[in-house]
Structure formats: structure tokens, C-alpha cells
Amino acid sequence: MNKSIAGYDPLERVLFSREAIALRVAAMARAIQADAEAAGAGEITVIAVADGGLMFASDLIRELRMSVRFVSVKVSAYGDGMTPRDEAVVTGAPECIRDEYTLVVEDILDSGVTLDSLCRVLRAGAPSALRTAVLLDKPTGRRREFVADYTGFVCPDAFVVGYGLDLAGRYRNLPDIGVLRRALQPS
Ligand code: 5GP
Ligand code: MG
């Protein structure tokens, strides 16, 4: 199958194809819904981490056959350059998640700083449950202990783009996830 459009084909290697992603996202949605129903929740508040988590979240929520309240937050990580991503600042956190069954949706769990920081902020809002779903998990990158409740795929220790994952804002639109061609990688 020719996956390029007018020769645009920036991936050197596809790690997770659009077909594999679609199947996995549907399976994750089934598990998420079953757990929410088992907990007696009539609705899920889905909090997508923008921008990277938006593509995954938009596909995931359309597989949920129950009431969904959807919002997004921005999480910016700051560091000293040598050891980046040690703290993160959350903007746009939803005003009220008290007693709400809440699911955070993120593209990739790497150091753990983003989700750990966000979950701390959200827990202060006293949701009835706080669950996390990540499409990819890179266990080798962890700097803070963090385990997601739902994981799509374990990702090898490589910089990946596509399906929401970017390099300086680009490549989020690629339907597959993979490694960029060498010529496009930052030097
Ligand atoms: P962390 O767990 O390190 O705080 O944050 C995960 C965030 O780091 C993701 O939301 C994503 O923005 C970025 N990230 C980590 N690994 C990768 C990768 O391989 N590719 C891309 N595009 N972003 C990554
Ligand atoms: Mg991100």
C-alpha cells in the first residue's frame, strides 16, 4: 500500500500502524467503559492533555458508548536545560471535577513528570476516581514513578512522531506512529 500523499512520507520506520492503533484504541475504550460502569459511573469526564493527546482522545471518546464530558488542559514542563522536565505547570484545568469519574488521556508517558504533575493538581479537585490512559509508554524514560491505568503500546526508546506526537508542532497529522527519516531529525 502506498501511504504517501504526493510523495509526502516523512517516516523512515512505522512502529505502530494506523490499523493497529485503531484496534488498540477500540479495545482500550471497551476496558475503560467496563471499569467505569463497574464503578457505577454514569458519565466519564475525559481530560485530554493538549496538544499531543488530542488525536488519541478524539478517537477514544468516539468509541465510548456512554455520557462523556470532554475538556483539555495544557501542561508545560520546565527544567534547567541539563535536566529538563522536572516540574510541570498545568493551565486550563477544569473548574469542577468533584465527584466526577475522571480519565486523563495523554499521547505518551515518558519521564512521568507531565502526568504526575497533572494528577496531583486534579486530585485536589476531589474526583470520585482518577484514571489515566496513555497510547504509548516508554518505561526506559521514567524519572518519576508513574503507572498508567490503561496503556496502548510499550514504545521502544526512540523519538517517535505521528498521531498527535510532534517535532516542533509538525507530524501530528500522520496517521501512523514511527521514527522520522534521518534527514528530518534534528541534528
Ligand atoms: P513526560 O512523561 O516526559 O513528562 O512527558 C511526556 C511528553 O513528552 C509527551 O506528552 C510528549 O510531548 C513528550 N515526548 C516524550 N517522548 C516523546 C517522543 O518519543 N516523541 C514525541 N514527539 N514526544 C515525546
Ligand atoms: Mg505532550
What's the pLDDT score for residue 1? 44
Per-residue exposure over 140-171, b if at least 16 CB sit within 10 Å of its own CB, e if not: eebeeebebebbbbebeeeebbbbbbeeeeeb
- C-beta 137 within 6 A of ligand 1: no
- C-beta 107 within 6 A of ligand 1: yes
Nearest one of 108, 95, 105 to 54, comparing CA atoms:
105
Give 138-178 pLDDT, tens digit per residue.
Answer: 999 999 999 999 999 999 999 999 999 999 999 999 999 99
Work out the pLDDT band at 5, boundaries 50, 70, 90: low
pLDDT at 67 over 50: yes
What's the pLDDT score for residue 55? 98
Give, as one character, the DSSP assignment of residue 32.
H
CA of 41 to the centre of ligand 1 (A): 30
Nearest one of 116, 3, 119, 132 to 56, comparing CA atoms:
132
Give 74-99 pLDDT, tens digit per residue.
Answer: 998 765 555 556 778 888 877 799 99
**Residue 9 annotated as catalytic:** no
pLDDT at 66 over 50: yes
CA of 63 to the centre of ligand 1 (A): 24
Q: Which residues contact 43 (CB under 8 A, 6 or more apart)?
A: 66, 67, 68, 69, 100, 101
- Alpha-carbon distance 105 to 64, whole Å? 14
Work out the pLDDT band at 186, boundaries 50, 70, 90: confident
What's the pLDDT score for residue 2? 45
Atom number of ligand 1 nearest to Cα 49: 10
pLDDT at 133 over 60: yes
**pTM: predicted TM-score of the whole model, two decimal places:** 0.94
- Alpha-carbon distance 6 to 101, whole Å? 44
CA of 54 to the centre of ligand 2 (A): 9
Which residue lies with its CA nearest to atom 8 of ligand 1?
Answer: 110
Mean pLDDT, the chain, integer: 92
Atom number of ligand 1 nearest to Cα 109: 2
Of the candidates 110, 149, 166, 176, the residue annotated as catalytic is: 110
Q: By percentage, how much of the chain surpasses pLDDT 90? A: 83
